[in-house]
Structure 1
Amino acid sequence: MFNIFPLKGSLEHVKGFYCDGVSVGLKPNGANDVAFIRSDVLCDVEAVFTTNQFQAAPIVHFKRYPENFQTNFLLINAKNANAMTGRKGIEDIDTLFASLRATYPALQNPIMSSTGVIGYRLNQEKIAQSFSKFDFEAKNSDGAARAIMTTDSFKKELCLRVEPENGTPFHLGAICKGAGMINPAMATMLCFIVTDAALPKADAKEALSYAVEHSFNAASVDGDTSTNDTVLLLSNGQSGGYDKEAFKEALALLTKHLALEIVRDGEGATKLVAFEITGAATSEEAKKVAKALSNSLLVKTALFGEDPNWGRIASTIGASGVTCNDETLEIKYDDVLVFNNTQRELDKEREMKAAAIMKQPSYTIHCDLGIGSGTFTAYGCDLGHQYVTINADYRS
């Protein structure tokens, strides 16, 4: 048995970790744009990266380290993805870390992560200015969370305190960013998770894989997969506490909360919708349907228009390539039945009830394929005019 409690803030509650965010002029109006996270001691590292074949320089740099390496420092910048910059982009990271060692000599196997515009080399001069501005003893998770934002309309962070019934408490804290270029093909955002749990390396990989699969990998805003998607889990063991089941559940709760915050903050989004699939032939087929629905532009625009057009749902299911049959299919918006074999036409009463549900900021579209026992839930949002406005002038 164990208890899990949310705490206000995020990284500042996790023992042995420090963080800060500062402005060096990458963003306008003096907003924070460079951040760090460091640990008093070396941390084990577990990571999941984008499936995009054009992986950004920070990911390539990370993969140069030997397997099971440890680190004590993470540097993050906004406004520049350092993607599609070739070998020079990787060399720029090495140059920055060589400069950072003059300010922070304890640096070991540092990691860099970047977000922003693709195709431009880092402004090394500006980013290097952050090294003299950082307070390396700070626990400024608010500043760090704001520094990594791009088109985000709000910061995204969470800390959970885990109290095993007969053990030492431990913490998991995280900051993340994401609002656009979000597709369920690994994260499509940046997320940095730290824990003071005495986490075994093998358990870390298992827990992170499970958590990502049911959170970030189940989230979609616009169906586009970034070059920089990263989820990092750093564990320093400083609490001395650990419980395998408690940690796995807490990490899953943490990542699901942050994934839903990303979808809720989808560029111009007004709706957060869960696509809950049951009765599929297999769980893999359920996942295929759920992700097809969360990515469909026709479905997304129907959500924006608050139009209970179940035909778009059914069409997307049929086009997904899974085993399905219109005689066994059932579609509900929350608890309102909009389609099954005996009620194929949406009468006025049910349409009014479904339309009322679609006016809510969040709801569930449940699709029972009636074929087998496979289940999966994906999360998506609507797509409206503001998305086009934001992305039409993204570089500005």
Structure 2
Amino acid sequence: MAVNLPLPVAADLKPVAGIELGHAEAGVRKANRKDLLIMKLAPTATVAGVFTTNRFCAAPVQVCKAHLEGLRMAGAPIRALVINTGNANAGTGEAGLANANATCVALADLLACEPSQILPFSTGVILEPLPVDRIKAGLPQAIANLKTDNWYNAAESIMTTDTQPKAASRTVVINGVTVTLTGISKGAGMIKPNMATMLGFVATDAKVAQPVLEHMVKAVADKSFNCITIDGDTSTNDSFMLIATGAAPLEVGNIDSPEYAALFAAVAALSQELAQMIVRDGEGATKFITIAVEDGTSVEECRKIAYAIGHSPLVKTAFYASDPNLGRILAAIGYAGVNDLDVNKLNLYLDDVWVARNGGRNPDYKEEDGQRVMKQSEITIRVKLGRGTAAATVWTCDFSHEYVSINADYRS
């Protein structure tokens, strides 16, 4: 059960001119479920992405990187993305690369473009061969389903252990032009910064130059998908893609322009919403936790501390039990790797409750106040380091019995 996360409403997901979406039931892992998605792009579209840092990165990630690099060299636009769920095509060696490339060839033949103009994505079980023949057989059905208003089905088609689809839209007016943004994401476990078993796709109808889009996608990821953690595992298939179709009469050609700043703010806000949906739907999650670290000397050290708290099984299980065993938070701060941290300047808050003052228990702190906050479904941990002006925020969730059950039975 997701934490305070209503189902998206299909009618509220706005079509983005210049992109069509089609889904199919290809039987990649299980029958009778949407597991194949095509995103067909207008020739005017630009595409940029960021990917997992896992050294065992999946075959489709390797192919995507190669095709995007070829785009920079040759200039041929990306014409489609193809995504399958149920099988990650990771840890599959040369055969996995061949299968990812074969998927691109098959879709390129159907769309009358080059294989290098296709970007493949996969998510699911690692170390199993991709059933590429099933994917090929499902491509015509997905193409037949291509529609501009197919975002809800698209969100369902990329789910694995997610309990519900994740999608959102918004419009903004920039220089008098109405710009539309819609995105989908998936992920519920193996979520960690530098991303994880997560996929995110955000599209806008603005026209954005390729170098500008590449700058934007990295900056947006740092404010959204790289600020979430569920269990500290970094997976093999993480991908966050930003698509600008160029169908709207707004052109963004410079990162120093007001148009860039306005579009960046809108894309970042939508991406944060999609990233937080992943945390709210974390495997077995019952609580959504914001970790805000303030008064640091750098964003990097603030993030180190935030992630140490967010990754700690002891902290996360205490939050699941609504047990204000808050010394566990101090312990995580202490081992975060900020070696010159003066703990005597540190203050810790749980929502409105001042827990630790100047490195020790606040004399005014009462256990019942901590317990009151811990029973909430949404909680903020605030750490004030007392050593600078930098800050960082990370979003995470608790660990429950269900998390163990889901991951113990994942391949069943």
TM-score, with normalisation over the residues of structure 1? Answer: 0.93
> Where in structure 2 are the equivalents of 1:264-275 lying within 5 Å?
264-275=280-291
Residue in structure 1 matched with residue 265 of structure 2 by the alignment = 249
Asked if structure 2 preserves the Cα contact closer than 8 Å seen for 1:171 and 1:195, the reply is: yes
What count of residue pairs does the alignment treat as equivalent? 389
Q: For 2:104 and 2:223, how far apart are their aligned partners in 1?
A: 34
Is 1:299 the counterpart of 2:299? The answer is: no
- Over the matched positions of the two proteins, sequence identity in percent amounts to 37
> Where in structure 2 are the equivalents of 1:183-262 lying within 5 Å?
183-242=192-251, 243-262=259-278
The aligned amino acid for 1:196 is D
The aligned amino acid for 2:209 is P
- Shift in alpha-carbon separation, 1:369–1:26, aligned structure 2, 3 A: same
Q: Deviations over 1:305-364 (max 9, x none)?
A: 1111221111111111213223211111111111113962676x7221221111111121
Asked if structure 2 preserves the Cα contact closer than 8 Å seen for 1:187 and 1:212, the reply is: no
Q: For 1:102 and 1:343, how far apart are their aligned partners in 2?
A: 66
> Where in structure 2 are the equivalents of 1:310-321 lying within 5 Å?
310-321=326-337
Shift of 1:105: 2.1
Q: Deviations over 1:263-302 (max 9, x none)?
A: 1111000011011001112221111111111111111111
Is 1:350 the counterpart of 2:366? The answer is: yes
Secondary structure of the residue aligned to 2:361 is coil
Secondary structure of the residue aligned to 1:46 is strand
- Shift in alpha-carbon separation, 1:90–1:247, aligned structure 2, 3 A: same
TM-score, with normalisation over the residues of structure 2? Answer: 0.89
Residue in structure 2 matched with residue 360 of structure 1 by the alignment = 376
The aligned amino acid for 1:38 is K
Structure 2 unaligned regions, length at least 5: 1-7, 252-258
- Shift in alpha-carbon separation, 1:315–1:343, aligned structure 2, 3 A: closer
Is 1:283 the counterpart of 2:285? The answer is: no
> Where in structure 2 are the equivalents of 1:9-88 lying within 5 Å?
12-28=14-30, 30-65=32-67, 66-68=70-72, 69=75, 70-88=77-95
Shift of 1:125: 1.9
Residue in structure 2 matching 1:325, options 314, 331, 342: 342
Asked if structure 2 preserves the Cα contact closer than 8 Å seen for 1:35 and 1:144, the reply is: yes
- Shift in alpha-carbon separation, 1:346–1:178, aligned structure 2, 3 A: farther
Q: Deviations over 1:65-93 (max 9, x none)?
A: 21525201000000100001111111112
Is 1:156 the counterpart of 2:154? The answer is: no
Residue in structure 1 matched with residue 385 of structure 2 by the alignment = 369
Secondary structure of the residue aligned to 1:35 is strand
- Shift in alpha-carbon separation, 1:263–1:256, aligned structure 2, 3 A: same
Residue in structure 1 matching 2:190, options 167, 171, 181: 181
Structure 1 unaligned regions, length at least 5: 1-5
- Shift in alpha-carbon separation, 1:393–1:137, aligned structure 2, 3 A: closer
- Shift in alpha-carbon separation, 1:295–1:342, aligned structure 2, 3 A: closer
Q: For 1:9 and 1:89, how far apart are their aligned partners in 2?
A: 38
Residue in structure 1 matched with residue 3 of structure 2 by the alignment = none
Residue in structure 1 matched with residue 354 of structure 2 by the alignment = 337
Shift of 1:198: 1.1
- Shift in alpha-carbon separation, 1:282–1:99, aligned structure 2, 3 A: closer
Asked if structure 2 preserves the Cα contact closer than 8 Å seen for 1:157 and 1:175, the reply is: yes
Q: Deviations over 1:171-222 (max 9, x none)?
A: 1211110000001123541111111101122322222222111211110000
Aligned-pair Cα RMSD in Å: 2.0
Asked if structure 2 preserves the Cα contact closer than 8 Å seen for 1:11 and 1:17, the reply is: no
Stretch deviating more after TM superposition (138-147 or 330-339)? 138-147
Q: For 2:393 and 2:310, how far apart are their aligned partners in 1?
A: 10
- Shift in alpha-carbon separation, 1:392–1:57, aligned structure 2, 3 A: same
Q: For 1:326 and 1:25, how far apart are their aligned partners in 2?
A: 55
Shift of 1:11: 6.5
Secondary structure of the residue aligned to 1:169 is strand
- Shift in alpha-carbon separation, 1:57–1:376, aligned structure 2, 3 A: same
Asked if structure 1 preserves the Cα contact closer than 8 Å seen for 2:227 and 2:394, the reply is: yes
Q: For 1:83 and 1:264, how far apart are their aligned partners in 2?
A: 26
Q: For 1:121 and 1:177, how far apart are their aligned partners in 2?
A: 22
Stretch deviating more after TM superposition (180-189 or 214-223)? 180-189
Q: For 2:106 and 2:294, how far apart are their aligned partners in 1?
A: 54
- Shift in alpha-carbon separation, 1:103–1:209, aligned structure 2, 3 A: closer
Q: For 1:184 and 1:346, how far apart are their aligned partners in 2?
A: 36
The aligned amino acid for 1:144 is A
The aligned amino acid for 2:184 is I
Secondary structure of the residue aligned to 1:130 is helix
